[in-house]
Amino acid sequence: MTRSAMSRAEPRSRLSRERVLRVAIAHADGGGLEALSMRRLAEELGVAPMALYRHVANKDDLVDGMVDVVFSEVGLPSGGTDWRTAMRKRAISLRDVLARHRWAIGLMESRRNPGPANLRHHDAVIGQGGPRYDLIFDNVGNHSMSATRRALTANGTLLSNGGGHSAGKLRRMIKTAIVSMFVRQQGKPSVKTQNAADLRALKELVEAGKITPVIDGTYDLRETPEAIDHVAAGHARGTVVITVGDRPVARVA
């Protein structure tokens, strides 16, 4: 190629995290998240696969970033509007966004490492000036502590059961206990106990079809490390079951 032809050629766009995420989202919008791989993404960007890892740590980090971009497209509740109207506008905006990014529907509230747009969204929603609660049972743990406290009454109590993997839960429990030492609002960990009577009652409800357990998948005992990694990465969409013995292994598609 001559120098003049090279000068007329369109320059390659500089690779950045934002560009990587935007191209990944476009790919997922067209073919679903399952069809997205680091190799295919690199091909679409015209770079070697290893170049992607300067901008995203791994596939989970890529998906975290994609979900955060989707959150950034949702309109935040604005000040000066009553909370019911604000929440309705937010719901309509969220519906429109997820209609464009259907692959994100099951991921919006399940990521273990929420990004800044995700946190801004939840902080704005919780702090919108709606009702305050005497008790909040946080079963997911993906809201910031300050946002959750704003939804409590002055003497309210927060029961925390979430926080992603075990290390995240422990960190959140410790933070909750420390904050409770200095404010009237109290935070407590959720302590679960089981007894035979409750388990029998639960068994009867399941057998009667009144309760349908959501099973993400089953793993053989020797696959326990794989199951733990699956939950820790934030992929689980239900209960993960470890089986003992020769049983078929099922996975959620």
pLDDT digits (tens, 9 = 90+) for 145-178: 666 777 777 778 877 765 544 445 556 566 666 6
Please give the backbone phi and psi of residue 178, each rounded to the nearest 5 degrees, phi first. -70, -45
Which range is least confidently modeled, 26-30, 98-102, 115-119, 156-160? 156-160
**pTM, whole model, 2 decimals?**
0.55
Instruction: Output the six-digit token pair for 102.
Output: 């259907």
Neighbour-count burial of 152, counting CB atoms closer than 10 A to its CB (0-12 exposed, 13-18 middle, 19+ buried): buried
Q: Is the dihedral of CA 84, 186, 140, 26 positive or negative?
A: positive
Report whether 156 contacts 110 (CB < 8 A): no
- Say how far apart CA 91 and CA 87 lie, in whole Å: 6
pLDDT digits (tens, 9 = 90+) for 175-203: 666 655 555 556 665 555 667 888 888 88
CATH number assigned to the domain covering 13-104: 1.10.10.60
The per-residue pLDDT for 19 is 96
Report the length, in residues, of the chain.
253
- Say how far apart CA 118 and CA 66 lie, in whole Å: 11
DSSP letters, 103-172, are: GGTTTTTT-SS--HHHHHHHHHHHTSS---EEEEEESS--S-HHHHHHTEEEEEEEEE--SSSHHHHHHH
More confident residue, 16 or 199: 16
Q: How many CB atoms lie within 10 A of CB 171?
A: 13
